[in-house]
Amino acid sequence: MTTRLEVIKTFSESFFGRFENSIKDLKESEIDWRPVPEANNIRWILTHLSQQWNVGFPRMFKGDPSYKPSNWPDDYVGSLKISLSEILDDLIKGKETVLQGLSQLKEEDLDVDIPLWGGTRKRSFGLMAYLSEIVHHEGQIAYLRGTIGRMRQSNPNFLL
Q: What is the CATH number of the domain that holds 135?
A: 1.20.120.450
Within 2-145, strands assigned E span 113-116, 119-122
pLDDT of residue 45: 98
User: b vs e for 86-113, b when ≥16 Cβ sit within 10 Å of the residue's Cβ?
Assistant: ebeebbeebbebbbebbeebeeebbeee
Residue 44 Rama label (left phi>0; alpha psi -120 to 50; beta): alpha
Which structural domain, as residue segments, surrounds residue 94? Answer: 4-154
For residue 157, the Cα-to-chain-centroid distance in whole angstroms is 30
**Burial bucket for residue 149 (CB in 10 Å: 0-12, 13-18, 19+):** exposed
Q: Give the CA distances from residue 55 to residues 48, 58, 68, 80, 126, in Å, rounded to whole numbers and listed in that order.
A: 10, 5, 6, 19, 13
Residues of the chain with pLDDT under 70: none
Query: How many domains is the chain built from?
Result: 1
Considering the entire predicted model, what is its pTM? Answer: 0.95
Q: According to the model, what pLDDT value does residue 117 have?
A: 87
Domain membership of residue 127 (yes or no) is: yes
Residue 106 covered by a domain: yes
Q: Where are the alpha helices (DSSP H) in 26-122?
A: 42-51, 57-62, 84-104
Q: Coil, helix or strand for 113? A: strand
| pLDDT at residue number 159 | 86
Q: Is residue 16 part of a domain?
A: yes
pLDDT on residue 69: 94
| Residue 67 belongs to some domain of the structure | yes
Residue 83 lies in a domain: yes
Please check whether residue 159 lies inside any domain of the structure. Answer: no
pLDDT of residue 1: 85
Residue 160 lies in a domain: no
Is beta strand 119-122 parallel, antiparallel or unpaired with respect to 113-116?
A: antiparallel
